């Protein structure tokens, strides 16, 4: 009995490091700090230490460097597409090894299937959806009115996007553009925005095992040709490479009437647009489509059994319906489970501002974000090709053939 009593003595507080993909400062850090503090109040035996690691790119670099030096974090939020890289590096554990009870298993099966496509491989679950998104279309209703368009009806398909774009693009007598009809960013995550076009054209960019890409398929080339034509042929889209970071600002400043960007920008746009705006699913090509995007939770091998258990407690707490809803409301990211949309908080929020339902409803048309082994090298090959086509350095056909050749070379060892 004495041994059992000793065994139940409270352990020292578990301190867990959580690498988080934001450059220091800004609203997201405040929200994450608050979540960590709220969790600690309810779980006095566990301390959460968020480490703000910069961009997603910076975060995986820092995590892998730390892991090689024997100092990996206990858990991290990183891109869902980092899954194969983390598995190949042998630094993460599958959640299947961490779930113990029927309640745990019910929790794990409670997320949207669209978000699990980038979280599972080989019959195991490696990531838990949290900071997740899709691409959506935002439009300026005032500019629609000025152009004689119905402000409540966004373009529904590729042909209408061109037609609306022509009416919305504003030029002076010298041909200088003050407002572009359409703007799709092509820096930062060109491959991700491009997947909007390819999915709409009925084609996927990779296989489910992450060992093969299809960059040079005719439907992929057609999709890139359409994107290039928006600026070259139709002259309704800014030429060259369009900055990811400044696209929302261009929208606020009425330099672009329609933009494509992440749902993660929803709260930013709601707070800063000084005009009435709409949010819609992306227009259809042969079909509707978007990739999912954003970050998952991962748990690292270096964590002890007790630390893994504590990490699980935090991840389950923060993705529970109540907290997932609060997070989605605060940020604009998509609440990751149907149960989160059923909470009182979420229903109240949507009654006043229904726009977040667009991304949720678009999940039925969503595909997994481009993710392969050696993911950073493979996506770089595609990004370089996309930018070469958008700047006119190569034809879409040539750019994608070159990208495919490079991806083949990188992925050959994994087949």
CA distance 342 to 344: 7
Output 63-67 pairs: Cβ under 8 A, ≥24 positions apart.
Answer: 63/19, 63/91, 64/89, 64/91, 67/91, 67/300, 67/302
What pLDDT score was predicted for residue 24?
58
What pLDDT score was predicted for residue 188?
85
Q: Confidence band (pLDDT; 50, 70, 90) for 27? A: confident
Instruction: Give yes or no for residue 23 having a pLDDT over 70.
Output: no
CA distance 31 to 24: 12
Q: Confidence band (pLDDT; 50, 70, 90) for 6? A: very low
Instruction: Give yes or no for residue 53 having a pLDDT over 60.
Output: yes
Write down the pTM of the prediction: 0.91
What pLDDT score was predicted for residue 26?
65
Please, which residues have CB within 8 angstroms of residue 219's CB and are 6 or more apart in sequence? 198, 201, 202, 203
- Domains in the chain: ranges and CATH: 2-133+293-362 (3.40.190.10), 134-292+369-414 (3.40.190.10)
The tens digit of pLDDT for each residue in 209-255 reads: 999 999 999 999 999 999 999 999 999 999 999 999 899 999 999 99
What pLDDT score was predicted for residue 144?
98
Hey, how many other C-beta atoms are within 10 angstroms of the C-beta on 99?
18
């Amino acid at each position: 009995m004495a041994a059992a009593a000793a065994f139940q003595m409270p352990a020292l507080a578990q301190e867990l490091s959580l690498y988080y993909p934001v450059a220091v400062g800004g609203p997201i850090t405040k929200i994450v700090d608050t979540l960590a503090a709220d969790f600690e109040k309810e779980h006095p035996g566990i301390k959460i230490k968020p480490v703000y690691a910069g961009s997603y790119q910076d975060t995986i670099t820092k995590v892998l460097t730390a892991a090689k030096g024997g100092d990996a974090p206990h858990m991290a939020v990183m891109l869902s597409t980092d899954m194969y890289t983390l598995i190949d590096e042998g630094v993460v554990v599958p959640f299947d090894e961490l779930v113990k009870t029927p309640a745990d298993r019910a929790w794990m099966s409670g997320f949207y299937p669209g978000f699990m496509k980038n979280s599972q491989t080989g019959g195991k679950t490696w990531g838990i959806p949290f900071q997740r998104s899709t691409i959506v279309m935002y439009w300026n209703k005032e500019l629609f009115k000025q152009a004689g368009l119905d402000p409540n009806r966004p373009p529904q398909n590729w042909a209408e996007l061109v037609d609306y774009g022509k009416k919305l693009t504003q030029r002076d007598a010298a041909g200088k553009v003050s407002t572009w009809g359409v703007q799709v960013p092509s820096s930062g995550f060109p491959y991700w925005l491009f997947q909007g076009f390819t999915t709409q054209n009925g084609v996927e960019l990779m296989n489910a095992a992450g060992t093969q890409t299809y960059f040079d398929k005719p439907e992929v080339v057609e999709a890139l040709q359409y994107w290039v034509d928006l600026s070259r042929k139709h002259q309704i889209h800014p030429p060259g490479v369009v900055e990811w970071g400044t696209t929302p600002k261009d929208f606020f400043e009425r330099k672009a009437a329609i933009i494509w960007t992440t749902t993660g920008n929803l709260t930013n746009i709601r707070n800063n647009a000084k005009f009435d705006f709409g949010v819609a699913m992306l227009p259809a090509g042969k079909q509707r489509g978007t990739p999912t995007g954003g970050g998952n939770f991962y748990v690292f091998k270096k964590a002890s059994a007790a630390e893994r258990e504590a990490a699980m407690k935090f991840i389950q707490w923060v993705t529970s319906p109540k907290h997932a809803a609060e997070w989605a409301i605060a940020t604009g990211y998509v609440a990751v489970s149907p149960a989160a949309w059923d909470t009182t908080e979420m229903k109240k929020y949507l009654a006043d501002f229904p726009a977040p339902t667009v991304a949720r409803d678009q999940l039925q048309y969503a595909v997994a974000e481009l993710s392969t082994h050696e993911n950073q090298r493979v996506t770089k090959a595609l990004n370089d090709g996309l930018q070469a086509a958008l700047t006119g350095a190569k034809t879409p056909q040539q750019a994608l053939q070159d990208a495919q050749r490079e991806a083949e070379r990188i992925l050959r060892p994994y087949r």
